Amino acid sequence: MTMSEFNIRQKAWSAGLIVLFFVGWELFCLVTGMSDLILPRPSQVLATLFAKFWILWPHILQTLATTMLGFVLGVALGVVLGAIIGVSKVAYDTAYPLLVGFSSIPKVAVVPIFVLWFGSGTVPAVLTALSICFFPIVVNIATGLATTEPELEDVLKALGASKFDILWNVGLPRTMPFFFASLKVAVSYAFVGAVLSETVASNRGIGNVMMTASSNFDVPLVFAGLFVLAFLGVVLYVVFSLIEGQVTGWATRKNDLVAT
Amino acid sequence: MLASGLHAFPFMTRMQPNAAFRKDGDTVAAARSAAPIAIELSNASVTFGRGEKAVPALSETTLRIPDGEFVALVGPSGCGKSTILRLVSGLVRPTTGVVIVGGREVAAKALRIGMAFQNPTMLPWMTIEQNIMLPLKIVEPFRSEFRKLKRTVFRDKAHALLEQVGLKGFASRYPWQLSGGMLQRANLCRALIHEPRMMLLDEPFGALDQFTREELWSILQQLWMMHRPTVLLVTHDLREAAFLASRICVMSARPGRILDDSEVSFTRPRTIEMTFEPDFVALNQRLREFIVNARTAPSDGKP
């Protein structure tokens, strides 16, 4: 069995499992006669989704926009902080406890503070997304920079390379696989943050739609929102995985080269 | 010409067995003074840390290396051989004494030194050719012309070097596609591409198998004879030192100092076969004794 055959088979099994999950869910509801106020069937959820798609659409855009804005700001902040911390051992040791402390606060607890400061709506959603997604980026950038081989640094220093030369030619490129690996995690986090904040304090976005639907006992719509979120989450993850593969192929390409 | 010939040996015939390895006599000292001094350590010592935690790494050492000489540093492990390299490259400052390289006191300033370590540290995202050209990206006068010439003059330069070490056709491969020995050849190319007057090699062949190592000795010898940089080679391998160097310094156990400093006068190019001849073996044995004694020296405190 060749590698690609193995991969195809693997993917077929994964797809099969997903289908099986939904079929099982559908059958479970039918057999037990489950009320759709508790657990609607997937087919009902899909029907609701199609029927109300144009009502959901602006909310989808809103959630995506806040996610991406929070994500971009979080990445910018994360890269700067990560670079500072990664270049200097002192900064790393000094700032790390504070960062860990900050990152271990459950972000849902921060939302009321953002709402207090900025009112409900888009701003707290963006800030929540930002605050939840920058940490993995900081850690990965800092790790990438801190793991530069000391021998190579010596070689370059002996040539008279400045700190910036080393950072530019060695440190940052080395960080790229860590950075892109962290991007796909960070974008999922940002998404969670945005939805979280919308759920608690907003009148727009998928999170808010789900809260409203829930209080109206429109359970199929709640699940439709959940489906949308799952779909968007997967899409964001896949997009950034593909970018990662394109940009930093050198870090993972080892496996395919056995054949060449 | 006789003066420079004495430390370069191209004109000398094989010496008598008992003369193959000489103490640093007056003649040699006189010969050395003729060539400009490339590296000079005057009573340089290095201590890492301060107070109670201070670790003396190198005792006061005086060492003069004329331009174009190939010097090997041998000694028991942890004796400060690498510390001397780091002193010369400006990565470490002497705690006492002075280090003068290329006529100037060493600061962490561009000296165009080529360095190679046991770990070839090729950057995985660059091809071999790009890796080798890295110093040109950093060192003047190449740096300011790098963008302009990287696809023409500089690339040809890299290819010429690759050909000299037997890596022709591997320029556009990536590091992981090469074996350890090939990477180490590329490492030598990277240490030479910017035409350094000085090469500092820290056990560059330590991780290679015997046959690859011997092959690379010949390549390094060839490169040295062609480019004639001043070379300071740190090694554990006495055969390697005797094969490559024109002068061998034996160091004591930590904190290191130079116990013995002698010329090696075999003709060049030396061949691997020569390393099995009696006078070469005798030289090896002499070096070995020095190091065995250095390891068990009471000054060390522990064996």
Q: CA B113 to CA A103: how far, in whole Å?
A: 45
Domain A50-248 sits in CATH 1.10.3720.10: yes
* A247 touching chain B per CB within 8 A: no
The answer on B58 and B177 residing in a single domain is no
Do B119 and A151 count as a contact with CB atoms less than 8 A apart? yes
pLDDT at site A251: 65
Range of the domain at B134: 122-195
Kindly indicate the confidence band of residue A260, based on its pLDDT and cuts at 50, 70 and 90.
Answer: very low
Kind and range of the H or E element at A152? helix A150-158
Q: Residues in chain B with pLDDT < 50?
A: 1-30, 108, 298, 300-303
Report the candidate in B216, B198, B219 with the shortest Cα–Cα distance to residue B207: B216
Query: Who contacts A144 (Cβ-Cβ below 8 Å, separation ≥6)?
Result: A86, A171, A174, A175, A176, A177, A178, A179
In chain B, residues with a C-beta closer than 8 Å to the C-beta of A154 are 86, 89, 91, 115, 117
> Cα dihedral angle (A151, A156, A160, A163), rounded to 10 degrees?
-90
Domain ranges of chain A: 50-248
Cβ-based neighbour number of residue A206 at 10 Å: 25
Kindly indicate the confidence band of residue A110, based on its pLDDT and cuts at 50, 70 and 90.
Answer: confident
Domain boundary among B174, B195, B216: B195
In this structure, are residues B283 and B242 in contact, taking their beta carbons and an 8 Å threshold?
yes
The answer on B208 and B185 residing in a single domain is no
- Strand, helix or coil for residue B207: coil
The answer on B37 and B18 residing in a single domain is yes
* B230 touching chain A per CB within 8 A: no
In chain A, residues with a C-beta closer than 8 Å to the C-beta of B119 are 149, 151
Of all residues in chain B, what percent are helix, strand and coil, respectively (each to 5)? 40, 20, 35
A162-176: average pLDDT: 83
pLDDT at site A3: 63
Do B138 and A260 count as a contact with CB atoms less than 8 A apart? no
Task: Provide the token pair at B29.
Answer: 């000292």
The answer on B28 and B106 residing in a single domain is yes
The answer on B42 and B163 residing in a single domain is no
Do A157 and B110 count as a contact with CB atoms less than 8 A apart? no
β-pairing, B198-202 with B113-117?
Answer: parallel
Task: Provide the token pair at A223.
Answer: 């699940």
In this structure, are residues B137 and B154 in contact, taking their beta carbons and an 8 Å threshold?
no
pLDDT at site B110: 55
In chain B, residues with a C-beta closer than 8 Å to the C-beta of A174 are 123, 125
The answer on B226 and B106 residing in a single domain is yes
B254 within some domain:
yes
B209 within some domain:
yes
Q: CA A146 to CA A142: how far, in whole Å?
A: 6
Asked whether residue A155 carries a pLDDT value surpassing 60, the answer given is yes
> For A29-38, how does the pLDDT look when each residue is reduced to its tens digit (9 = 90+)?
999 988 888 8
B253 within some domain:
yes
Q: CA B186 to CA B161: how far, in whole Å?
A: 9
Domain boundary among B195, B220, B254: B195
pLDDT at site B302: 43
- In angstroms, the separation between the Cα of residue B179 and the nearest Cα of chain A is 13
Q: What percent of chain A has pLDDT over 90?
A: 22
pTM value is 0.69
B117 within some domain:
no
Query: Who contacts B250 (Cβ-Cβ below 8 Å, separation ≥6)?
Result: B74, B75, B258, B259, B260, B261, B287, B290, B291, B294
The answer on B126 and B105 residing in a single domain is no
Do A250 and B121 count as a contact with CB atoms less than 8 A apart? no
> For A198-255, how does the pLDDT look when each residue is reduced to its tens digit (9 = 90+)?
888 878 888 888 989 889 888 989 999 999 999 998 998 888 888 887 777 666 655 4
Chain B residue with the nearest C-alpha to that of A155: B115
Q: CA B138 to CA B153: how far, in whole Å?
A: 16
Residue of B108, B121, B194 with shortest CB distance to A151: B121
Task: Tell me the CATH number at B212.
Answer: 3.40.50.300
Do A154 and B139 count as a contact with CB atoms less than 8 A apart? no
The answer on B189 and B229 residing in a single domain is no
Do A155 and B112 count as a contact with CB atoms less than 8 A apart? no
Query: Who contacts A51 (Cβ-Cβ below 8 Å, separation ≥6)?
Result: none
B93 within some domain:
yes
Domain boundary among B195, B226, B244: B195
Q: CA A199 to CA A181: how far, in whole Å?
A: 28
* A252 touching chain B per CB within 8 A: no
Report which DSSP code applies to A171: I
Number of structural domains chain B divides into: 2
Q: What percent of chain A has pLDDT over 70?
A: 94
* A173 touching chain B per CB within 8 A: yes
User: Is the bond leading into B135 cis (omega within 30 degrees of zero)?
Assistant: no
